Chains A and B, each alone.
Chain A
Amino acid sequence: MLSPRDIDALYRRARGAVTRRAQSILGNSAEAQDVAQEVFAALVESPEAFRADAAAMTYLFALATKMSITRLRKRLARHEAWEHAVGLMWSFAIPPSDPALLAEAKQLVSRALQSADDVTATIVLGHCFDGMNQGEVAELVGLSRVTVNQRLQAFRANLQETAS
């Protein structure tokens, strides 16, 4: 469990990085600042939620990602501008050089943000957008590499079925 002093130290060290993570998903500074405040407010309210076996920064990254996805979904549910929002996100990523792979990655990310559960959305985002390897994604969501791979393949297959 995190002590108030631990949280203060985390805040001083990582507030900027949390804000940048949120901004890379949300596309604007104001909402990113809101999310950063919410992340640390959540730590203050529920310090016991931090798993002692997880690296603190991985936990913060996961929390910032989850809260940013939630905020993005709320905003886009009103405005229905998914394509534009996802397009903005890609300016912070290094896209695959193969156009077919890039198109697939964008479609997977867009669909995952719109309709997948939080864990699957984080897995898809981590794999297709964040450039993370399976080990990093597994640590982020607290699942095994095998399970991460299974969920990713299942989501991909479901998307292909829906498209055909």
Chain B
Amino acid sequence: MLSKKAGSRILSLYWIIIFVLISIGIVSGTVLFYSNSLDIREIESRMLSDKIVKCIAEDGSLKQGIAESLAEDASNIEEICGLVLSDSSYDENQYYIHLKIEGRNIQKEIEYEKDGSGRFFALCSSNTRDYPVCYKEKLFLLEDNEIIYVEIDAVVSKIKQNYH
């Protein structure tokens, strides 16, 4: 080997190309990972259910008069429970609530969806990502020292943002 200078220059160019390729690879991987959307509808539907539980129950008992207020007009649920069931990124309603209260002395079924079609609930049995996400909570509470059963279905649609 009489002269290595030309060899070193060619190798330097190669190293730069490899460096650029690796950088592009790392950046692509990072962008690919963080640009992928996260479907949080399940958490959202659970939080909605929790809010309803907090709204109707206190110290293990059904709040006085709440079932009657909600049964009278289901649209009261937003005001009574402090819910904001609107999403500015959609024209249509994206939430549905179904509340069933059953006991010896009480039988109430409350359904709430702004446009009243009930279509979300019908799709609950479909378990794919391109359908609304449904969360069901079952619990028991006291009412006049009697155990009553409450079933809450909280549904979040938002398919457009989570469509794959």
The answer to whether A and B assemble together is no
